[in-house]
Amino acid sequence: MDERGLIRSLVPLLGSAATADDCAAVRHGGEWLLLSTDMLHETTDFPIGMTDVEIGWMAAAVTLSDIAAMGARPLTLLLATGLDRPERLAGITEGALACCRAHGADLAGGDTDAHTELTIVSTGLGTAASPVRRSGARPGDLICVTGYLGGAQAALSGHDQYWRRLIEPVPRVAEGLALNAAGVTAMMDISDGLALSLHDMLAVNECGFAVDSARLPRPGGVPEDEGREFALYGGGDFELLFTIPAEHFPVVGVDATVIGAVVAERSVTVDGAPLPGRGYMHCWGSSPDQNPDFR
Amino acid sequence: MDERGLIRSLVPLLGSAATADDCAAVRHGGEWLLLSTDMLHETTDFPIGMTDVEIGWMAAAVTLSDIAAMGARPLTLLLATGLDRPERLAGITEGALACCRAHGADLAGGDTDAHTELTIVSTGLGTAASPVRRSGARPGDLICVTGYLGGAQAALSGHDQYWRRLIEPVPRVAEGLALNAAGVTAMMDISDGLALSLHDMLAVNECGFAVDSARLPRPGGVPEDEGREFALYGGGDFELLFTIPAEHFPVVGVDATVIGAVVAERSVTVDGAPLPGRGYMHCWGSSPDQNPDFR
């Protein structure tokens, strides 16, 4: 069973609301509180060669990206860190703090523990008057992405000019807020690649998604076929995927590209052919930790 | 360096507010949001013989206890779980959900991952108009604890009648709310034993703490000397330690015992002698994971 299957198995216990979006959403005092938690392990989630500061930045970024994906304003972040060596905590905290401050959030505290493998769980809290969900797409809406796709995967495949893109992902916080205000109908972040994300959207919408591969914003300097593959299936980009009525696009201040259209038929296609729901799902290093039957 | 030393080393980066209390406290919209995150590993934090449901309950309880310790109302909890076997998630979630529901909180979601050793990070969010801090104690205040102390340690030392006390800790949520309303001056939970907790209080107060060992509520059926040792140094009880002006004690609906008095001199004493700041600090199993230089 993969992670998505496992999370689906919890629906009878927790209800679908607890498993359908990038964040848990709690109605409180006239607004919504958005909460997200992400567990990262050194061997599976952090590419070899990263510094502790970069690891801290990435741990914060993935969680802030989940908050951005709901069109919410991040308020604060907590870091629980299982350390193989205690002296790593300072660098990790420094990196997480820098990422938080760059996106208007505090790093409010956390927990530490000794562990054989470095393990970081970052948990973020954000607020929104009206968060954007993964559901809500309507036939006729444009499908768009911020920035470009496939850069992180390009770095993993030897295109060294994309190394910083891989290790220092930028959560699209300002973009998420602007897109929420502009009236997007559905949104999520693309942490595990576009194809998997579109299938996640399919699972919670009553419509389908038709992508035109020629319109995909690919990493420059990478051969076209390879770049297309990276853009469709590569993880680690943390751009936003959203749907929006055509009359509301483009959105001022948001660098985004139209890559297709929401359609009535419930399927995900690229250039008219079914797009398989596959991706790289965090498998970023050779790991003794990894259980192929589970991941 | 132990965990407390490591956390103190972050003060220059995060400020003392981020490291001084059971929860991080964020002022928002006319109230306070309280956040706590706890990382638990199977070999160091869960006594051998616990079921997955019990493990889930305990993971939720330790975090709800931190929220209770601030006199706050728990709102919701997230669980990030690194699983050695995916089939364990259902039981863990069931236990956490039961603990949340028993204390008025939701289990809103989480994250899952494969990991060699079961690792759970529970993060909770609570709210309070005015949270209670660890600081705020004043000379002349009573020192009190809820319930009794040393039961969890008694179970670990072979007193099997305390097994449930050890594996199913009850967060003192209702008590924390009542104590906050009654005007306690300082509060924390006693997760690592009374002695360490009193030293944690000492570190953030301008006064001292004088305990009378004869007044300690000890586990019944345990020899007196042993029970006194467990009550002073045993971890895992999750009762509340608080200070309160004498005129506000007792508090209706809260089972609590006076164990001493806040004094002007900045020291922790028991029966007039210095009380060492030692405890068991989670070392609840033989663990290949454990690094004695760090814990």
- The DSSP secondary-structure symbol of B20 reads S
> Which of the residues B10, B117, B191, B293 would you substitute to probe the A interface, choosing the one with the greatest number of A C-beta atoms within 10 Å?
B10
Inter-chain residue contact A119 with B36, CB threshold 8 Å: no
Q: Which of B180-194, B239-253, B269-283 has the lowest mean pLDDT?
A: B269-283
Give the residue range(s) of CATH 3.30.1330.10 domains in chain A.
22-128
Q: Name the strand (E) or helix (H) holding B256.
A: strand B256-263
| CA-based nearest residue in chain A for residue B81 | A39
Residues 12-41 of B with CB under 8 A from A: 13-14, 18-19, 23-26, 28-29, 31, 33, 35-41
The Cα–Cα gap between B141 and A176 comes to 50
Percentage of chain A exceeding pLDDT 70? 89
Amino acid, res. A100: C
Angle at A265 between CA A263 and CA A270, to 5 degrees: 65
Q: For B206-212, what is the mean pLDDT?
A: 98
Using pLDDT thresholds of 50, 70 and 90, give the confidence band for residue B219: very high
Q: pLDDT at position A22, please?
A: 85
Give contacts of A97 with chain B, Cβ < 8 Å: 13-14
Does the annotation place B66 within a ligand binding site?
Answer: yes
Does the annotation place B215 within a ligand binding site?
Answer: no
Q: pLDDT at position B291, please?
A: 30
Does the domain at residues B3-128 carry the CATH identifier 3.40.50.300? no
Q: Name the strand (E) or helix (H) holding B82.
A: strand B73-83
Using pLDDT thresholds of 50, 70 and 90, give the confidence band for residue B238: very high
Does the annotation place A38 within a ligand binding site?
Answer: yes
Contact between B175 and B254 under an 8 Å Cβ cutoff? The reply is yes
Q: pLDDT at position A289, please?
A: 35
Distances (CA, A) of A209 to A4, A146, A180, A182, A199: 20, 17, 20, 21, 9
Inter-chain residue contact B123 with A37, CB threshold 8 Å: yes
Give contacts of A86 with chain B, Cβ < 8 Å: 1, 6, 294
Q: pLDDT at position A288, please?
A: 33
Check residue A30 and give left, alpha or beta (phi > 0: left; psi -120 to 50: alpha). Answer: left
Using pLDDT thresholds of 50, 70 and 90, give the confidence band for residue A279: confident
Percentage of chain A exceeding pLDDT 90? 80
Give chain A as a DSSP string: --HHHHHHTTHHHH-GGGTSSSSEEEEETTEEEEEEEEEEEHHHHS-TT--HHHHHHHHHHHHHHHHHHTT-EEEEEEEEEEESSGGGHHHHHHHHHHHHHHTT-EEEEEEEEE-SS-EEEEEEEEEESSPPPS----TTPEEEEES-SSHHHHHHTT-GGGHHHHHS----HHHHHHHHHHT-SEEEE-TT-HHHHHHHHHHH-SSEEEE-GGG--PPTTS-HHHHHHHHHH------EEEEE-GGG-S-TT--EEEEEEEESSS-EEETTEEPP----TT--S--TT--TTT-
Residues 94-153 of B with CB under 8 A from A: 94, 97, 106-117, 119, 121, 123, 125, 127
| CA-based nearest residue in chain A for residue B87 | A6
Amino acid, res. B45: D
Q: Is B292 on the interface with A (CB under 8 A)?
A: no
Give the residue range(s) of CATH 3.90.650.10 domains in chain B.
142-274
pLDDT over threshold 70, residue B222: yes
Give contacts of B14 with chain A, Cβ < 8 Å: 93, 97, 107, 109
Residues 77-96 of B with CB under 8 A from A: 78-83, 85-86, 89-90, 93-94
CB atoms within 10 A of CB B271: 11
Among the partner-chain residues A24, A93, A110, the one whose CB lies closest to the CB of B76 is A24
The torsion angles phi and psi of A120, rounded to 5 degrees, stand at: -125, 130
Residue the block writes with tokens 């038929």? A265
Give contacts of A114 with chain B, Cβ < 8 Å: 44, 289-291, 294-295
Which tokens go with B124?
């909770």
Q: Which CATH class is domain A142-274?
A: alpha beta
Give contacts of B52 with chain A, Cβ < 8 Å: none
Inter-chain residue contact A26 with B94, CB threshold 8 Å: no
pLDDT over threshold 60, residue A10: yes
> Which of the residues B100, B121, B125 would you substitute to probe the A interface, choosing the one with the greatest number of A C-beta atoms within 10 Å?
B121
Contact between B162 and B110 under an 8 Å Cβ cutoff? The reply is no
pLDDT over threshold 90, residue A256: yes
Q: Is A11 on the interface with B (CB under 8 A)?
A: no
> Which of the residues A21, A37, A101 would you substitute to probe the B interface, choosing the one with the greatest number of B C-beta atoms within 10 Å?
A37
pLDDT per position as a tens digit, B51-65: 999 999 999 999 999
Q: Is A56 on the interface with B (CB under 8 A)?
A: no
pLDDT over threshold 60, residue A287: no
Bridge partners of B18?
Answer: none
What stretches of B117-165 adopt beta strand conformation (E)?
Answer: 119-128, 142-146
Burial class (CB in 10 A: 0-12, 13-18, 19+), A82: buried
| CA-based nearest residue in chain B for residue A109 | B18
Quote the minimal CA–CA distance from A255 to chain B in Å: 30
Using pLDDT thresholds of 50, 70 and 90, give the confidence band for residue B221: very high
> Superfamily for A22-128?
PurM-like, N-terminal domain (3.30.1330.10)
Using pLDDT thresholds of 50, 70 and 90, give the confidence band for residue A6: low
Residue the block writes with tokens 């510094």? A51
Among the partner-chain residues A10, A26, A39, the one whose CB lies closest to the CB of B80 is A39
The Cα–Cα gap between A267 and A263 comes to 9
Q: What is the mean pLDDT of chain A?
A: 90
ipTM above 0.90, yes or no: no
Inter-chain residue contact A37 with B78, CB threshold 8 Å: yes
pLDDT per position as a tens digit, A258-274: 999 999 999 999 999 99
Q: Is B181 on the interface with A (CB under 8 A)?
A: no
Q: pLDDT at position A113, please?
A: 87
pLDDT per position as a tens digit, B253-293: 999 999 999 999 999 999 999 999 998 644 333 333 333 22
Residue the block writes with tokens 């790289």? A280
Using pLDDT thresholds of 50, 70 and 90, give the confidence band for residue B18: low
Residue the block writes with tokens 């290093």? A285
| CA-based nearest residue in chain B for residue A87 | B6
Alpha helices, DSSP H only, in B163-237? Answer: 163-167, 173-182, 194-204, 224-233
Q: pLDDT at position A158, please?
A: 93
pLDDT over threshold 80, residue A13: no
CB-based contacts of A211: which residues, under 8 Å, 6+ apart?
A143, A194, A198, A259, A260, A268, A269, A270, A271, A275
pLDDT per position as a tens digit, A191-228: 999 999 999 999 999 999 999 999 999 999 999 999 99
Q: Name the strand (E) or helix (H) holding B187.
A: strand B186-189
Q: pLDDT at position A285, please?
A: 37
pLDDT per position as a tens digit, B68-79: 999 999 999 999
Give contacts of B63 with chain A, Cβ < 8 Å: none
